[in-house]
Amino acid sequence: MIRYLSVAALIAVGATVAFAQAKGGAAAITERKAAMKAVGGANKALNDMAKGDVPFDASKVAAAYKAMGDAFAKSKTLYPDDSMTGDTAALPAVWAKKADFQAKLDKAVADVKSTAASVKDVASLKTNHAAFAKATCGTCHKDYRAPAKK
Ligand code: HEC
């Protein structure tokens, strides 16, 4: 029992250290990719439901949009100046047009909220989520994310 407790305590300390270090450079890149991966995972869960591959579940819809909103809000601190280069797909425009990029993250948080509130069933999920993804994800990626390597 004591051993289990100390392992848990160590993990807790490790998580705190990782968070504290996530201020600049490579750590920020790692964290923002993880945040965007969480957005991608939530997006996939919603698309699977919209397609009917997974049964519609209002609580899962709410959880997916919450995860997305949290990740967008967190992303605001994950593009420090010393993280412009490295293993990242973020374009230099993120730093050249900082205010616009931050505003797009704010808008993404707001869009997530309004889309989540507008989804009542599979039909509304299908229509409203597709519109949200096109406008919110697509608009930012077009200007700020390097296209996927072929
Ligand atoms: C405000 C801008 C912005 C918005 C909005 C946005 N993204 Fe991104 N996204 C980025 C940037 C910038 C990167 C590149 C991050 C990097 O490589 O450092 C990225 C990377 C990604 C990645 C790759 C993550 C990885 O593994 O490296 C996925 C997946 C992704 N976005 C999905 C989405 C989806 C889905 C949405 C909409 C629900 C979305 N994004 C909305 C800016 C945005």
112 CA: nearest ligand 1 atom: 38
Which residue, by CA, sits nearest to atom 3 of ligand 1? 140
- Whose tokens are 């597709």? That residue is 130
Distance 148 CA to ligand 1 centre (A): 11
Q: What is the pLDDT of residues 4-18, one digit of tens each?
A: 555 555 455 444 444
Closest C-alpha among 149, 15, 20 to residue 88: 149
- Whose tokens are 């997530």? That residue is 112
Which of the four pLDDT bands, split at 50, 70 and 90, describes residue 148?
confident
Please tell me the predicted confidence (pLDDT) of residue 123: 97
Which residue, by CA, sits nearest to atom 36 of ligand 1? 137
108 CA: nearest ligand 1 atom: 5
Q: What is the pLDDT of residues 79-108, one digit of tens each?
A: 999 999 999 999 999 999 999 999 999 999
Which residue, by CA, sits nearest to atom 31 of ligand 1? 36
The torsion region of residue 25 among left (phi > 0), alpha (psi -120 to 50) and beta comes to left
Closest C-alpha among 89, 100, 104 to residue 136: 104
